[in-house]
Amino acid sequence: MKIAITGGTGFVGAHLAVKLVHDGYDVALIARGQDQRNAKILKLNHSQFFASDLSSVDDLVGAFVGCGAIVHCAGINREIKTQTYERVHVKGTRNVCEAAKRAGANKIILVSFLRARPNCGSAYHESKWAAEEIVRASGLDYTILKPGVVYGLGDHMLDHLSHALRTFPVFASIGMSEKSMRPLAIEDLVAVIEAAVTDPRLANKTFSVLGPEEITLREAARRVGESIGKKPVTFGMPVALHYVLAWLAERTMKIPITSVDQVRMLSEGMVEALPPCDSLPPNLLPKLNFTIKQIQKGLPMSAVLGCPDGSCSL
């Protein structure tokens, strides 16, 4: 079977493509072509690359022809110029569903977000929810997966934490009373996505996908610090101040160490879906804990914050 992956050169999409090809699938990688975290993905055997920003249904139809399923991973975690939540998450998803139907691909798997929901005051959360609703109403056989914090090589979590801990001797957790999260290994997530392609138990349902261990961000930072030989001094900092720093980071750094929407996500906690959704079958539940061994597998090369991270990008 051939499977199309939107966001195919991104963090989740690239890991998924490698796993699918290893397991005997052909893949069509759809992306703008600007993500270079894993440039080798463009040379992956049994794959084709299609440059698309999801704005053209006709282009997507061409990419989806011959595919038995579409995995829709494309998304952004901050708005930059024309790449808005409305354009990428909402209009992009609508175009993906229309193209899938035209191309005869009857199965779509949407990677959403654990806390995506309507009327919550966050454009990110609301646009992800809108994408879910488009998929549910599409008439396609669908599976919606709602992960929280996903980590692994090429991610944002380990990348940003390790760079920050190598740069600063202190770490400020979000809020004076910290919320928890359940870190999800990328290996566990792609295994669930692959199962959703063919497992009838996952058809036409929405599932939360969470790691097996519940920890605080402060504990996550401690473990990442241990993995790179750092022992940061940790303390709680008011959420409002984190919002100010994130706002500044988005406007002064090419690769912001944090964003306003990431602060919102972490300040809410990420241990349960909102609104509630289905639980995965027991044999598909993630099993990998946030251990030092797992962390080290996903760490980027040693670096501290600076240029290009700290240079103006607007």
Model pLDDT for residues 146-178, shown as the tens digit of each residue: 999 999 999 989 998 998 899 888 888 888 777
Residue 280 domain flag = no
Do residues 113 and 51 share a domain? yes
Do residues 231 and 86 share a domain? no
Do residues 109 and 233 share a domain? no
Do residues 162 and 26 share a domain? no
Least confident interval from 38-42, 92-96, 97-101, 205-209 = 38-42
Least confident interval from 77-81, 91-95, 224-228 = 77-81
Do residues 97 and 246 share a domain? no
Residue 238 domain flag = yes
Residue 314 domain flag = no
Do residues 188 and 259 share a domain? no
For the record, the structure tokens of 80 come out as: 């930059």
Residue 128 domain flag = yes
Confidence (pLDDT) at 174: 87
- Pairwise CA distance, residues 42 & 65, whole Å: 19
Residue 313 domain flag = no
CATH number at residue 217: 3.90.25
Domain that holds residue 125: 2-150+183-209
Q: What is the tens place of the pLDDT at every residue in 253-307?
A: 777 777 888 888 888 888 999 899 999 999 999 999 999 999 999 998 665 554 3
Higher-confidence residue: 300 or 130? 130
What value does the mean pLDDT take over residues 203-230?
96
- Pairwise CA distance, residues 28 & 191, whole Å: 18
> Crossing angle of helices 186-198/11-22, nearest 10°?
60
Confidence (pLDDT) at 176: 79
State the average pLDDT for the chain.
Answer: 91
Do residues 205 and 190 share a domain? yes
Do residues 260 and 174 share a domain? yes
CATH number at residue 124: 3.40.50.720
Confidence (pLDDT) at 314: 22
Residue 303 domain flag = no
Confidence (pLDDT) at 254: 75
Confidence (pLDDT) at 58: 98
Residue 312 domain flag = no
Percent above pLDDT 70 for the chain: 93
Give yes or no for residue 53 having a pLDDT over 90: yes
Do residues 173 and 125 share a domain? no
Confidence band for 197, pLDDT divided at 50, 70 and 90: very high
CA proximity to 181, closest of 232, 234, 230, 218: 218
Residue 249 domain flag = yes
- Pairwise CA distance, residues 104 & 227, whole Å: 47
Do residues 205 and 257 share a domain? no
Confidence band for 37, pLDDT divided at 50, 70 and 90: low
Confidence (pLDDT) at 311: 33
Number of domains in the chain: 2
Do residues 57 and 121 share a domain? yes
Do residues 98 and 233 share a domain? no
Confidence (pLDDT) at 46: 95
